[in-house]
Amino acid sequence: MNARIAVAGVLLAVCCCAAWAGAGEFLVGASTHVGQGRQQVGPVLARIDRLGFRSLRDEVYWARYEQAPGRYGGDRIAERVIGLFEALSQRPLARPLVVLDYGNRLYGGGLPISPEAVDGFARYAEAVARRLAGSRPILEIWNEWNGGMGAHPPTAGRAEDYARLAVAAAKRIRAAAPDATVLMGATAGYDGKWTSRLLATGALRHADGFSVHPYSFRHHKDRSPEQAIRWLDLLHDRLRRWAADAGVPPPPIYVTEIGWPVSGEARHGITEALQAAYVERFLLMARARDYVRGVWWYELADGGRDARKVEHVFGLFR
């Protein structure tokens, strides 16, 4: 299967430890790209089984799932992703992580900000949640809104606009799938200012957790896993202080993307041996923090074959 052998052994050992470690659920998984039409269900499931993962993260794109107003499902790729999640859910203790994201031309495309677009997105989120109800799905609202993902042209999205969207979606998800876990945030990196603005809206009262992508591989001073963990500690402190003021429990953190590129040619690339060491250190440090509920590696398999392009070489498998 062309696994990076060093990291495969580390992950299997760490996942076994995580599965048996004491209090609280702690999931280990990876991002996949079945939703982009780049991967097939069978090989994806075989690979996560090989690594001992109990979760995977993929996208059910809004534009695919609602291609006519108010009509959901039927798209070949979207149905393949749903099938992947349903198959995963048959495994003991496994949980799918579903990213709900990106615009839909039926509602103007780009970031859904208008009242009509917000309502449309919330109804789509409800429809996806209903399909997966009973499988304890984890539903992540958008992907890197703060970094402009899904915006045309790419422009950082306002926290206040995200809050309105996330609350509307969360309410409909709750009604459709009471067993779902709702994640808000999905921030590109540790973005303290944006997170503070989101917290000020009170939107996190409607969430079960805060998700973050604490990539350190581009950090000019320290791209180690310890730097990523320092950002998690800062985020937790910010969430804890907000929760104390709000009179609610602090939301746990879900690391829904983290990784380091493996290449001798791409900028910021590292060796396979160093990747394995970083995986081990990050996962063990994250597991030692009771506020972290899961880590999803980016990504399960390389996104391309050009070793000079950093986005092509994050995979745990080549």
Q: Which domains does the chain have, with CATH numbers?
A: 5-312 (3.20.20.80)
Which stretches in the chain have pLDDT values below 50? 1, 5, 20-22
What is the C-alpha separation between 43 and 127, in angstroms, rounded?
A: 27
- Residue whose pair of structure tokens reads 């998690």 in the numeric block: 232
How far from 184 is each of 10, 68, 100, 122, 138, CA to CA, in Å? 30, 27, 11, 14, 11
pLDDT on residue 111: 98
What would the pLDDT profile of 261-271 be if each residue is shown by its tens digit? 998 777 888 89
- Residue whose pair of structure tokens reads 């089984």 in the numeric block: 49
Beta pairing partners, 60: 100
pLDDT on residue 263: 87
Beta pairing partners, 87: none
How far from 289 is each of 17, 140, 179, 294, 313, CA to CA, in Å? 14, 21, 24, 10, 29
Tokens representing 277?
């060491």
What is the C-alpha separation between 168 and 308, in angstroms, rounded?
A: 41
pLDDT on residue 318: 81
pLDDT on residue 12: 55
